[in-house]
Amino acid sequence: MEQHVTILGVLNIAWAAVEIMIALLIFVAVAGGGMLSGDIEVMTVTTTVGFIISFVCLVFAVPGLIGGIALLKRREWGRILTLVIGFLRMLIIPLGTILGIYTIWVLLNDDAKKLFV
């Protein structure tokens, strides 16, 4: 079970890294589209919208990153945080559902609970 917890920590960090890259890509695409127009009002609106969307993506990514790191360090609060994130990720079909089910299976296992301090 120790390997599963390590794998889960790495998967959470990787998922968060992808979410962070998506947030940056969204910001560059939306704000960049406004920059191409050359209109100051359009640039202001698209930069604001791009920032808000990217910020929301980051709000979801950062807890996953922190939870993944905490899992690798075997912190009990990281197990609880990752469980909550796992339940929420189940709404992201299909990959989030798969990761969410794996998260719940690993972290609710009695052998895995013993690994955390």
pLDDT in tens, the chain (117 residues): 999 999 999 999 999 999 999 999 999 999 998 888 888 999 999 999 999 999 999 999 999 999 999 999 999 999 999 999 999 999 999 999 999 999 999 999 999 999 997
pLDDT of amino acid 37: 86
Q: Where are the domains of the chain?
A: 2-111
Whole-prediction pTM value? 0.88
Cα(69)–Cα(6) distance, integer angstroms: 10
Q: How far is residue 45's CA from residue 30's CA, in Å, rounded to a whole number?
A: 10
